[in-house]
């Protein structure tokens, strides 16, 4: 485990030599080396930076069979307990994924677009708007969870509660609306990433993980 974390930290030093433009014209110039890469909770994985080969977290299996990095479990459980106390019914729909599982999800999404009449190139481009490329998914870290409601009518009430409260437990909304040109992924109100103590600062600034680490 320690070796995997060390590889992750060293590899991350090569990231962030870029400039991106958000919807609305705001320009963000990113520093070459992300901050805080000695902290496992802030490991940056996105379209530009891949999970290092051989990285395998120590996993804990939830009651529904989904898995997460065991270090995030206490805070995840506290968040779920408080959400349930607020009258919400929720579960982790997706936790840790292997590289093979991420590849299959990408292929399935691309095939959907192919069946809809897109060319191969177009299908893969569209698929990449909602599915991270294999090797570039936070789910492969075990630090990301997709959270959904058991009842469809409470889905958006759950998303609202998470958006307001997840920072209290060390989680951030990883792909916020309006930040698609920074994160590379469409808005996902269900996708939360564990970042630990940095969650409050990221929430207060209203920024993405990329902006927090690299600008």
Residue 95 CA to residue 133 CA, distance in Å, equals: 16
**C-alpha torsion angle, residues 16, 198, 162, 206 (rounded to 10):** -60
Contact 40, 204 (CB under 8 A): no
Element (H, E) at 86: none
Active site residue 188: yes
- CA–CA gap between residue 41 and residue 174 (Å, rounded): 13
Three-state SS for 25? coil
For residue 93, give the nearest of 139, 133, 41, 126 by alpha carbon: 139
The length of the chain, given as a count of residues: 215
Q: Which of 188, 201, 210, 211 is catalytic?
A: 188
Closest alpha carbon to 83 in 167, 145, 166: 166
In whole angstroms, what is the distance from residue 6 CA to residue 119 CA? Answer: 41
Residues designated catalytic: 188
């Amino acid at each position: 485990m320690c070796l995997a974390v060390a590889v992750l930290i060293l590899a991350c030093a090569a990231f962030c030599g870029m400039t991106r433009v958000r919807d609305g014209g705001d320009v963000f110039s990113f520093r070459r080396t992300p901050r805080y890469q000695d902290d496992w909770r802030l490991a940056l994985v996105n379209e530009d930076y891949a999970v290092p080969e051989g990285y395998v977290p120590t996993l804990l299996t939830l009651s529904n069979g989904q898995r997460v990095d065991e270090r995030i479990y206490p805070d995840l459980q506290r968040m779920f307990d408080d959400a349930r106390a607020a009258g919400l019914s929720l579960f982790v729909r997706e936790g840790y994924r292997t590289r093979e599982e991420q590849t299959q999800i990408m292929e399935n999404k691309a095939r959907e677009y192919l069946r809809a009449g897109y060319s191969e190139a177009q299908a893969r481009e569209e698929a990449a708007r909602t599915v991270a490329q294999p090797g570039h998914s936070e789910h492969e870290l075990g630090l990301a969870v997709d959270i959904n409601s058991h009842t469809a009518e409470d889905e958006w009430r759950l998303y609202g509660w998470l958006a307001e409260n997840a920072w209290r437990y060390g989680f951030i909304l990883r792909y916020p609306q309006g930040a698609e040109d920074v994160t590379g992924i469409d808005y996902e109100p269900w996708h939360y990433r564990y970042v630990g103590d940095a969650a409050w600062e990221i929430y207060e600034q209203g920024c993405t993980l990329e902006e927090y680490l690299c600008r």
